[in-house]
Structure 1
Amino acid sequence: MDCLHIIRPYFSFNRIKKLWRNSSSWYNVQSLPENYIFPPEIRPGKHNVTICNTIPVVDLEGTDATWKILKAGQEFGFFREFFEMAAEDKAKLYSKDPSRICRLYTSSGNYDNEQVHFWRDNLRHPCHPLQEFIEQWLEKPTRYREIVGASSVEVRKLGLRILGMISEGLGLDAEYLRGDLSKELLLSVNHYPPCPEPSLRLGLPKHSDPNLITILHQGDVHGLQVFKDGEWIGVEPIPNALVVNIGLQLQIISNGMLKSSEHRAVTNSSDAFFFIPCKDSIVEPAKTLTNNEQNPPLFRAFQFKEFYIHYAAKMGNTEAALDPFKLQA
Structure 2
Amino acid sequence: MVAERVQGLALAGLDKLPPQFIRPLNERPENSKALTGLHVPTVSFSPDCKQAAKGSEEWGIFQLTDHGISPELFRRLKEAGEGFFSLPQEYKEQYANDFAGGVFEGYGTKLAKNPDQKLEWIDYFFHFMWPTSRVNYDKWPKSPLNYREVTEEYGEEMKRVAEGVLEALSVGLGLEAGALKEALGGEEMSLEMKINLYPPCPQPELALGVEAHTDMSALTILLPNQVPGLQVIKDGSWVSVDYVPDALVVHVGDQIEPISPAPLCLQTIDEN
Scaled by the length of structure 1, the TM-score of the pair is 0.68
Match of 2:163 among 160, 166, 178: 160
For residues 1-329 of structure 1, the aligned pairs below 5 Å read 14=2, 16=4, 25-27=8-10, 28=12, 29-45=14-30, 48-51=33-36, 54-60=39-45, 66-68=67-69, 70-75=71-76, 76-97=78-99, 99-100=102-103, 102-108=105-111, 111=113, 115-130=117-132, 133=135, 135-136=137-138, 137-179=140-182, 181-182=184-185, 183-255=189-261, 257-266=263-272
AA aligned opposite 1:222:
P
Q: Cα 1:222–1:60, aligned 2, differ >3 Å: closer, same or farther? A: same
**Alpha-carbon distance between aligned partners in 2 of 1:184 and 1:26, rounded to the nearest angstrom:** 33
Residues 218 and 243, structure 1, Cα contact 8 Å, conserved in 2: yes
**Alpha-carbon distance between aligned partners in 2 of 1:167 and 1:236, rounded to the nearest angstrom:** 27
Give me the identity figure in percent.
28
List structure 1 runs of 4+ shifted beyond 6 angstroms.
none
Gaps of 5+ in 1: 1-12, 267-329
Residues 69 and 155, structure 1, Cα contact 8 Å, conserved in 2: no
Q: Cα 1:160–1:243, aligned 2, differ >3 Å: closer, same or farther? A: same
Displacement of 1:45 in angstroms is 2.7
Residues 126 and 187, structure 1, Cα contact 8 Å, conserved in 2: yes
Displacement of 1:69 in angstroms is 5.7
Displacement of 1:179 in angstroms is 3.1
**Alpha-carbon distance between aligned partners in 1 of 2:243 and 2:36, rounded to the nearest angstrom:** 10
Gaps of 5+ in 2: 48-63
CA root-mean-square deviation: 2.7
Cα-to-partner distance string for 1:213-256 (whole Å, 9 max, x where unaligned): 11111122212111222222111111110011011111222255
Q: Secondary structure at the match of 2:266?
A: coil
Cα-to-partner distance string for 1:118-138 (whole Å, 9 max, x where unaligned): 100011001002475252211
Displacement of 1:57 in angstroms is 1.4
AA aligned opposite 1:141:
P
Identify which range, 30-39 or 246-255, moves more after superposition. 246-255
Residues 124 and 188, structure 1, Cα contact 8 Å, conserved in 2: yes
AA aligned opposite 1:93:
Y
AA aligned opposite 2:182:
G
Paired residues, number? 247
For CA contacts below 8 A with separation 6 or more, give which structure has more relative contact order: 2
Scaled by the length of structure 2, the TM-score of the pair is 0.81
